[in-house]
Amino acid sequence: MGIKDFFTRRQDEVVGTKVIVASLDPRFAELAKADRDCYSHFYSAPDEIGFENAQQLLSGIDRRCDIVHLFCDISPEGNIVDSHGNTTEGAALIQHCCDADVKLLWLASQNKPEGYIKGFKAAGKPLNLVLTIDRKGSCFPSFLENLLRKMSAGETMPAAWVALAAQTPSDPRHQDLPACIFAAGRGGLKLRP
């Protein structure tokens, strides 16, 4: 490894990871509480906040958190939708997270992949992004807790993800996993308590 490689390889380690579990609709309150409880086993005092609209959400993100775990609907056009039907482009949320130095954006509510594909392009962005297609009931909190256990112990998110969700579709363990899309824009990231 040359001196140039040392400065160009991105390896982040966050100590004292700050978490916001957010929702844009009160109907997600029970799921948000359950997921916040998963985070609380590994990270100190995760916030659980119900926002009225996307503008409030974006202002909340400005509080400099490391993880945004969000519950909202995604329109077929790729926009986030609040409980009043107002929309904000998914790309604007991703850019705002990048500008606020959010390391992980996890859309935790179930949405159709078409909306994600249209509005949540994260290629080249310094952000780990998880898009949930199907939580599969109790499979989601179990997977989240196991992933957070590995990450809080110092594993990078991609290494922890692959250890839990081998990338072979025929693997029988896939039946017990939520269906998610994971884009590792910050592959060397470590999120420590």
pLDDT given at position 169 = 65
- Kindly give the parts of the chain with pLDDT less than 50: 1-9
Put simply, whether the predicted model's pTM sits higher than 0.85 gets the answer yes
Q: What is the pLDDT of residue 10?
A: 52
CA dist 186 and 108 (Å) reads: 19
What is the per-residue pLDDT for 1? 42
- Report the distance separating Cα 34 and Cα 38, nearest Å: 7
Taking residue 176's Cβ as centre, other Cβ atoms within 10 Å add up to 12
Cα separation, 83 vs 86, in Å, equals 8
Which two structure tokens, joined as six digits, stand for 175?
A: 């039946």
pLDDT of residue 174: 62
Spell out the domains of the chain, with CATH numbers in brackets: 11-192 (3.40.50.720)
pLDDT at 2: 43
pLDDT on residue 166? 75
